[in-house]
Amino acid sequence: MAPTDDEALLRAHDTKLRAANLELWLGAEPTFTNATSSEAEWIGGALGPTKLARAEALWARLHRPGDLTLRTLGRQYPGEDAPRFSLGLYGLREVAAASARGRVPSPLWRGPLDPAMSADAASNEPESEGASAGAPEGASDGAPERAPERAPERAHALARALRDVLATALDGEALDLLGDRFPYRVVVGGAADDPRCRRPPLDGQAIPEEGLVDPLSAEGARLFCVGVEHGAPSLELPAFDDVDLFLAFLGVLEAACAKAEVGALVLRGHPPPVDARVRFTTLTPDPGVVEVNMAPCRDLTELERDMRAIHDAAHAVGLSPERRHFNGEVTDSGGGGHLTFGASTPARSPFFRHPALLPRLLAYLNQHPSLSYFFGGHAAGSAGQAPRSDESTPELFGELDLALDRLVRKAHAPLETDAEREHLWAELAPFLADRFGNTHRSEVNVEKLWNPWLPGRGKLGLIELRALRQAPSARHAVARAALFRCLLARLATHELPVALRSWGATLHDRFALPYYLEADLREVLGDLARAGFALPAPFEAELFDDRHRVLGQVDLGDPDAPVTLTVRRALEHWPLVGDLSKQAGTSRLVDASTQRLELRVEGPSERVGRVRLGVRDGDATVALPAVLVEDGAHARAVVGIRYRAFIPSVGLHPGLAARDPLALVIATHAQSYALTIHSWIPGGGVYAGLPADDDDAAARRIERFVLTLLDAAPTFTPAPRGAATRHTLDTRRL
């Protein structure tokens, strides 16, 4: 893949961090949806009839020569009977680096691949816009053609041959289990008559409460189960906890496949071990999306290459980082776009090498709400996926302030011992959870920092930033990653007071509006520049691209001195509904019926200062509390408006009517206008289907904005008590 202009800018950034003696590896989890489908699996369901085939198509596109292909056990969530699928690509980091430099590397794996990796996968064309969204698994779903099904007898003969060759090569014992899905077994280092060697295959079985464990491997033995899937031999891997041992086994397996003449191989079972030498990428299902869990990258240059390749591959198989809704609104895929930071090894984690870094990060996020909200979804707050530390209880917020102060006062030297690292985690973990104690739902997730209660994954020296929606493009994703990486570099090398700020009601009033988030983000970027970690200008500009928020824009009056009204979707803080203890599973019932919009009037100061905004309520026009912001010749009037957009089947305030359409009034010095914002087709009707493209979506949004001239200037009435704050009018109180 040829270098880009962006790569040169990112290389300079990486060089600057290396000069500061900072090791900051980063990972990402881009998520993609089938934007042409309104089926449940692409709206909110984790699994469905076409999701696996779509993921397999992306898997085939992302496969690099020399990568091992694996279908290992994924995560299992409460209420689910078995683990979700996980499609993995396992390769050596040095091989990927050599490929990027145009050299011919020595691959990790020369053996057979999964049947989904057919020869025509690389030339697979993207699905047409009109393809059926409900096609059966693997049909018309952007997936590559699988290799022709082998006769069952031939496939079983190959599986038995592979089992026998492996048993000889590993000095193990072979056995048969008639009637089992994986009937051919090899036991290495243990007794074949051990009842545990006759256990059912792991695939399709629930993960025990104690987690995914392999008792035989823990005792030094190995059980390999061999069967037939997709017309090819299938091997279920035991647990390996050492990369060198696993790589040595792969050499044995590669030779065994060649000797047994196995041309395609399905690898299942336990996930493989990883260290800094290995790149392990997985594709897994999540509600409405396919999630790509990227292999961690050493620097931004590597992240940019990988992220670009992933987005290109997703587009090629008909997956999108955005979703176009029936009424023309555009949102992200819905699956989030989290970032993870760490180092090549847990011991080298920047949060251990610079023990004041994590406390400073928490304080900085508290002081700058834009980092919590600007790149997040439309819903925020304590019931969201990534609540801030100050969206918990007031008592805990005060205790967090004390914890940060204690940690910073003691942060004089790197944390070298397990006890010191666990202390950092234990001091902060109680505060980095939602108000119900769920440590996964937090703006900063430290579950994998040094957590003794999370077997296998708890002591990795990692933090995850979760207040991020899926980026609309690879470039935007890299710009965000650069922002937070620069922030961590600034906090690791420069002092910062860790005193927390209590925002009170301002947090959800002022910072629900995009205008104030933009202003705060510019303060952050200025601070980074002063510390010597400025973002390259093109990436700064990329951060402020908020097309997803813009619902409509109209010009008012004189074209020589125009005044522009822009309506943006703002944040809302949806509350939980009902008794949480009665809500099983990973999702929670919230009342999403309230929406918030930002109205922003921009133009010459003398004209904007005379604009008045209101909302029609029956025969009255209620004034909106706009705040005027001037910079001399230019001015902006900014105000938020909350309203009930629909009546939920289960929610708060039964009997409260929806306000649709939302009727606004704008009075300038010379003319008054009525702006009616419809949530659906004006006058009624149904859309024929989802928008075909971005132009179609834009046309539907424009259709829902109806601007008309008023014959007479309106009379504005003040808002009733409790309806207006400094920045927002809540029409539900009218």
Name the residue ranges covered by the structural domains of the chain. Answer: 26-125+140-286, 342-543, 550-733
Model confidence at 587, pLDDT cuts 50, 70, 90, reads low
Share of the chain above pLDDT 70, in %: 92
The pLDDT value given to residue 275: 93
Paired tokens of 622: 């209620």
Q: What is the pLDDT of residue 96?
A: 60
| pLDDT for 223 | 96
Q: How confident is the model at residue 3 (pLDDT cuts 50, 70, 90)?
A: low
pLDDT band, very low/low/confident/very high, at 148 (cuts 50, 70, 90)? very low
Helix or strand (DSSP H, E) at 225:
strand 222-229
pLDDT score recorded for residue 301? 94
pLDDT of residue 127: 41
Spatial CA neighbour of 22 closest among 347, 481, 489 = 489
Handedness of CA 207, 213, 216, 222 (dihedral sign): positive
Exposure letters 568-605 (e unless 16+ CB within 10 A, then b): bbbbbbbebbeeeeeeeeeebbbbbbbbbbbbbbbbee
| 140 — pLDDT class (breaks 50, 70, 90) | very low
Output the pLDDT for position 104.
53
ω into residue 661 within 30 of 0, thus cis? yes
Residue 596 pairs in a beta bridge with: 642
**Span 29-34, mean pLDDT?**
96
264 vs 9, residue with greater confidence: 264
**Whole-angstrom distance, CA of residue 593 vs CA of residue 520:** 28
The whole model's pTM is what? 0.91
- Please, which pLDDT band fits residue 134 given cuts at 50, 70 and 90? very low
What integer pLDDT is reported at residue 138 of this predicted model?
35
- What integer is the mean pLDDT of 45-73? 95
Q: Cα–Cα distances in Å, from 729 out to 268, 501, 593, 673, 720?
A: 56, 25, 16, 19, 10
What proportions of the chain, in percent to the nearest 5, are helix, strand and coil? 30, 20, 45
Indicate whether 105 pLDDT > 70.
no
Per-residue model confidence (pLDDT) at position 605: 86
Residue 378 pLDDT greater than 80, yes or no = no
Report residue 112's pLDDT band, with 50, 70 and 90 as the boundaries. very high
- Tokens 């702006």 belong to 675
Say if residue 123's pLDDT is above 70: no
Q: What is the pLDDT of residue 244?
A: 95
Residue 16, CA distances (Å) to 198, 199, 273, 486, 490 in order: 56, 54, 32, 10, 12
Cβ atoms within 10 Å, residue 555: 12
Whether the CA torsion 422, 423, 426, 431 is positive or negative: it is negative
Grade residue 433 by pLDDT with cuts at 50, 70 and 90: confident
Tell me the pLDDT tens digit for each residue of 459-475. 999 999 999 999 999 99
Give the model's pLDDT for residue 79.
Answer: 82
The per-residue pLDDT of the chain, averaged, comes to 89
Residue 508 has pLDDT above 50, yes or no: yes
More confident residue, 277 or 142: 277
* pLDDT over threshold 50, residue 287: yes
